[in-house]
Structure 1
Amino acid sequence: MPNLIKSEDLHDFLVLNRPSFEERLLSVAVNVRDKINEIHVIGNINLLDNAHQLVLLIVDGKLDEVEEFAKKEGIVWAKHAMTLSFKLEWIRAIRKTFWEFLYHFDTLNGHKVKNSENFYTETSIYNELVDSFTNSFFISYSKYKDELIEKQQKLVNNLSVPIIPITPDVSILPLIGTIDTNRANVIEEKVLFEVGRMRIQTLIMDLSGIAEMDNEAIRLFLKLLDGVGMMGSKLVITGLRPEIVRNMIKLDVEFGGKATTKASLQKALQDYLKIDTNHSRESLVDLFSK
Structure 2
Amino acid sequence: METFLLQFSKKIVEQAPQLAHVITESQNERYFALKRLEHELYPMRIELIKLYANSLVMDDDIRISELNSWGEKAGSEFAKYSTITLDMILREVPSYRNIIGTVLKHDAIEHGVDTAGMYDIVTRLDSAVNDLTYFFSLPFVRHESERLKLSQSMITELSVPIVSIDDVTAILPLIGTIDHERSLTLQERVLLEASELQLKTLVIDLSGLQTTDTFVVQQLFHLFDALSLLGIQPIVSGISPVIAQTLVSLDLNFGQIKSFASMKQALAYIK
TM-score category of the 2 structures, normalised to the smaller one = 0.7 to 0.9
What's the counterpart of residue 85 of structure 2?
82
8 Å contact kept, 1:204–1:236? yes
CA RMSD for the aligned pairs? 3.6
8 Å contact kept, 2:20–2:49? no
Equivalent residue in structure 1 for 2:95, among 93, 97, 101:
93
What's the counterpart of residue 258 of structure 2?
260
Deviations 1:74-112 (A, max 9, x none): 443xx226361x43331122123224435556677x697
Residue 44 (structure 1) shift: 5.7
Give, as a single letter, the amino acid of the residue that structure 2 aligns with 1:222: F
Give 3-state SS (helix, strand or coil) of 1:223's partner: helix
8 Å contact kept, 1:179–1:214? no
Give, as a single letter, the amino acid of the residue that structure 2 aligns with 1:71: S
Distance change in 2, residues 1:72/1:125 (3 Å): farther
Distance change in 2, residues 1:248/1:196 (3 Å): same
Give, as a single letter, the amino acid of the residue that structure 1 aligns with 2:83: H
Distance change in 2, residues 1:49/1:37 (3 Å): farther
Matches within 5 A, 1:1-290: 8=7, 10-11=9-10, 13-16=12-15, 18-19=17-18, 22-23=21-22, 25=23, 32=27, 34-41=29-36, 48-60=42-54, 62-63=66-67, 64-76=69-81, 79-80=82-83, 82=85, 84=87, 86-102=88-104, 127-176=126-175, 178-182=176-180, 183-257=182-256, 259-272=257-270, 274=271
Deviations 1:55-90 (A, max 9, x none): 1133445332343123323443xx226361x43331
Residue 12 (structure 1) shift: 5.9
8 Å contact kept, 1:172–1:206? yes
Give, as a single letter, the amino acid of the residue that structure 2 aligns with 1:98: I
Equivalent residue pairs, number: 254
Distance change in 2, residues 1:238/1:130 (3 Å): same
Give the whole-Å Cα distance in 1 for the aligned partners of 2:213 and 2:84. Answer: 35
Give the whole-Å Cα distance in 2 for the aligned partners of 1:134 and 1:17. Answer: 19
Residue 8 (structure 1) shift: 4.9
Give 3-state SS (helix, strand or coil) of 2:199's partner: coil
Distance change in 2, residues 1:36/1:105 (3 Å): farther
Distance change in 2, residues 1:107/1:49 (3 Å): farther
Residue 175 (structure 1) shift: 2.5
Residue 132 (structure 1) shift: 3.4
8 Å contact kept, 1:67–1:132? no
8 Å contact kept, 2:16–2:50? no
8 Å contact kept, 1:172–1:205? yes
Distance change in 2, residues 1:50/1:157 (3 Å): same
Residue 144 (structure 1) shift: 1.6
Give the whole-Å Cα distance in 2 for the aligned partners of 1:21 and 1:209. Answer: 55
Q: Give the share of equivalent positions with the same residue, in percent.
A: 21
8 Å contact kept, 1:74–1:138? no
Structure 2 gaps of 5+ residues are 1-5, 56-65
Give the whole-Å Cα distance in 2 for the aligned partners of 1:36 and 1:49. Answer: 18
What's the counterpart of residue 280 of structure 1?
none
Give, as a single letter, the amino acid of the residue that structure 2 aligns with 1:210: L
Q: TM-score, normalised by structure 2?
A: 0.74
Give 3-state SS (helix, strand or coil) of 2:253's partner: coil
